[in-house]
């Protein structure tokens, strides 16, 4: 679990702002959900024989002896809340949420035990159009963030029945190649054979590549849904790769699944993943309700943005106000308030704590502010403020105190 330090949070605030702005542009509304749910909810939705439920959940008994779990993902809680508050009955809901998720995985680059997602879920829409809409939304998010090199992989998992047929064929095939499997895959053969396709073990690559393809087992409806999704993406000029081995690590999916992947983060290259889960609402006690959604992994997006660079100055103060002597210090506090009244967007740091010019300017410089505002006794007596650029060229100027806000607005807008 990581601390996000003050040098990192400006990037996070910016990326969260951009992502949620795009989501709102598609008419999705925020829902805020608890971090704790009953353990049963996750077992029933994510699936008993998934890695998450088998070995990654933070589960404990509360004082009443009820088994609770820190949410490993957001979809289950969102569906639970939708059913509980009658949000899903005979209506369309487009929802989003954000916050920390918890999985007791082996930590490594891009994989943490507390991580953060922004997730999106649409309920009550069965057609392929909303699958396409959500993928277009993700593309718009990457564009807003300036992320270029992401690959979209899609697949269809068909319906539960279609997957059942496929599963039987796959097990036959894998049994015939059992000697080539590793221990983990051999175990999955009896518990969750589709997950064998997701193995990262290079020794298995050949066996997996030659395995039967789920796409060959789709019925007419699933096939036409998938074709319509592909056609919609092509019409919107979204590049994608059909990956018939894309199976996802949660059991609730049916039909469309997709992942956005990058090669720039090593093994943990999936920055966003999701798909359709038409059976889940009913499975959790609601009426049959089609649903589709995805979640973005914010640590991975932040890592990509850090690697690209170019946003280092984000969140730095615009100005740092230094003042020398008791009278100037007292006036500086009031001056800062007047400037903030005029410019609500301005980030203005007041030095506070006194000290000589050298020490104060050193702090001003370290703050990464664009300008120092200087108030000494001479400036005070003449009703002016010194404006000193701290980055790049430029001499200190004198600005009339009552014009300071207007001058700052002009200079900072011009940048």
Does 300 contact ligand HAM by CB under 6 A?
yes
Are residues 342 and 410 in contact, defined by beta-carbon separation less than 8 angstroms? no
Least distance (Å) from ligand HAM to the CB of residue 278? 11
305 sits in which H/E element: helix 298-308
Alpha-carbon distance 376 to 327, whole Å? 9
Which residue, 160, 154, 276, 171, is CA-closest to 218? 160
Does 361 contact ligand HAM by CB under 6 A?
no
Alpha-carbon distance 7 to 407, whole Å? 28
Region 52-81 residues binding ligand HAM, contact defined as CB under 6 A: 73-75
Alpha-carbon distance 404 to 408, whole Å? 6
Q: Which residue is closest to ligand HAM by CB?
A: 297
Least distance (Å) from ligand HAM to the CB of residue 48? 16
Are residues 361 and 372 in contact, defined by beta-carbon separation less than 8 angstroms? yes
120 sits in which H/E element: strand 114-123
> SS3 for 60?
strand
Residue 83: both structure tokens together: 């059913």
What phi, psi does 65 have (nearest 5°)?
85, 10
User: Which position among 82, 124, 232, 274 is part of the footprint of ligand HAM (CB under 6 A)?
Assistant: 274
Least distance (Å) from ligand HAM to the CB of residue 295? 4
Least distance (Å) from ligand HAM to the CB of residue 299? 5
Residue 227: both structure tokens together: 């074709």
Does 279 contact ligand HAM by CB under 6 A?
no
Residue range at the interface with ligand HAM (CB under 6 A); choices 80-88, 128-136, 146-154, 264-272: 264-272
Does 264 contact ligand HAM by CB under 6 A?
no
116 sits in which H/E element: strand 114-123
Least distance (Å) from ligand HAM to the CB of residue 168? 26
Does 262 contact ligand HAM by CB under 6 A?
no
Q: Site for ligand HAM (CB under 6 A): how many residues?
A: 27
User: Which position among 37, 121, 131, 251 is part of the footprint of ligand HAM (CB under 6 A)?
Assistant: 121
Give the Å distances, CA to CA, from 114 to 37, 103, 293: 16, 7, 21
Least distance (Å) from ligand HAM to the CB of residue 120? 7
Place of tokens 């199976």: 247
Does 293 contact ligand HAM by CB under 6 A?
yes
Does 195 contact ligand HAM by CB under 6 A?
no
User: Which position among 270, 308, 317, 386 is part of the footprint of ligand HAM (CB under 6 A)?
Assistant: 270
Residue range at the interface with ligand HAM (CB under 6 A); choices 81-89, 188-196, 265-273, 346-354: 265-273
Least distance (Å) from ligand HAM to the CB of residue 280? 9
User: Which position among 125, 147, 295, 335 is part of the footprint of ligand HAM (CB under 6 A)?
Assistant: 295
Q: Which long-range contacts (CB under 8 A, 24 or more apart) does 203-208 make?
A: 204/180, 206/180, 207/174, 207/177, 207/180, 207/181, 208/245
Residue range at the interface with ligand HAM (CB under 6 A); choices 10-18, 144-152, 273-281, 319-327: 273-281
Are residues 296 and 118 in contact, defined by beta-carbon separation less than 8 angstroms? yes
Q: Which residues of this protein are in contact with ligand HAM, per CB under 6 A?
A: 73-75, 103, 105, 110-112, 115, 117, 119, 121, 249-250, 270-275, 277, 293-295, 297, 299-300
């Amino acid at each position: 679990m990581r601390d996000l330090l003050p040098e990192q949070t400006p990037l996070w605030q910016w990326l969260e702002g951009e992502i949620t702005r795009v989501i709102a542009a598609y008419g999705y509304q925020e829902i805020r959900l608890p971090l704790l749910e009953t353990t049963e909810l996750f077992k029933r939705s994510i699936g008993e024989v998934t890695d998450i439920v088998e070995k990654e959940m933070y589960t404990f008994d509360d004082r009443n002896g009820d088994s609770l779990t820190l949410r490993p993902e957001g979809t289950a809680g969102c569906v639970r809340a939708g059913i509980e508050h009658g949000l899903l009955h005979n209506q369309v809901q487009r929802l989003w949420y954000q916050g920390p998720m918890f999985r007791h995985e082996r930590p490594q680059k891009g994989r943490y035990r507390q991580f953060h997602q922004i997730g999106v879920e649409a309920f009550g829409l069965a057609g392929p159009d909303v699958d396409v809409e959500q993928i277009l939304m993700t593309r718009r998010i990457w564009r807003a963030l300036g992320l270029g090199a992401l690959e979209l992989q899609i697949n269809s998992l068909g319906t539960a029945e279609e997957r059942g047929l496929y599963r039987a064929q796959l097990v036959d095939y894998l049994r015939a190649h059992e000697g080539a499997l590793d221990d983990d895959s051999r175990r999955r053969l009896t518990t969750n054979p589709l997950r064998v396709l997701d193995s990262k073990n290079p020794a298995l690559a050949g066996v997996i590549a030659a395995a039967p393809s789920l796409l060959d087992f789709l019925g007419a409806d699933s096939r036409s849904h998938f074709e319509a999704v592909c056609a919609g993406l092509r019409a919107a000029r979204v590049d994608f790769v059909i990956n018939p081995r894309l199976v996802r690590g949660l059991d609730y999916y049916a039909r469309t699944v997709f992942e956005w992947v990058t090669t720039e983060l090593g093994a943990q290259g999936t920055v966003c993943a999701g798909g359709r889960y038409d059976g889940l609402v009913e499975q959790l006690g609601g009426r049959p309700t089609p649903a589709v959604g995805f979640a973005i992994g914010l640590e991975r997006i932040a890592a990509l943005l850090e690697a690209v660079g170019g946003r280092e100055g984000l969140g730095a103060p615009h100005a740092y106000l230094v003042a020398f002597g008791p009278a100037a210090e007292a006036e500086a506090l009031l001056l800062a308030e007047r400037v903030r009244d005029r410019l609500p967007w301005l980030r203005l740091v007041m030095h506070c704590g006194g000290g000589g010019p050298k020490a104060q300017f050193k702090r001003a410089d370290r703050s990464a502010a664009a300008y120092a505002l200087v108030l000494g006794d001479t400036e005070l007596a003449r009703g002016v403020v010194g404006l000193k650029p701290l980055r790049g060229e430029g001499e200190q100027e004198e600005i009339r105190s009552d014009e300071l806000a207007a001058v700052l607005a002009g200079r900072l807008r011009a940048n």
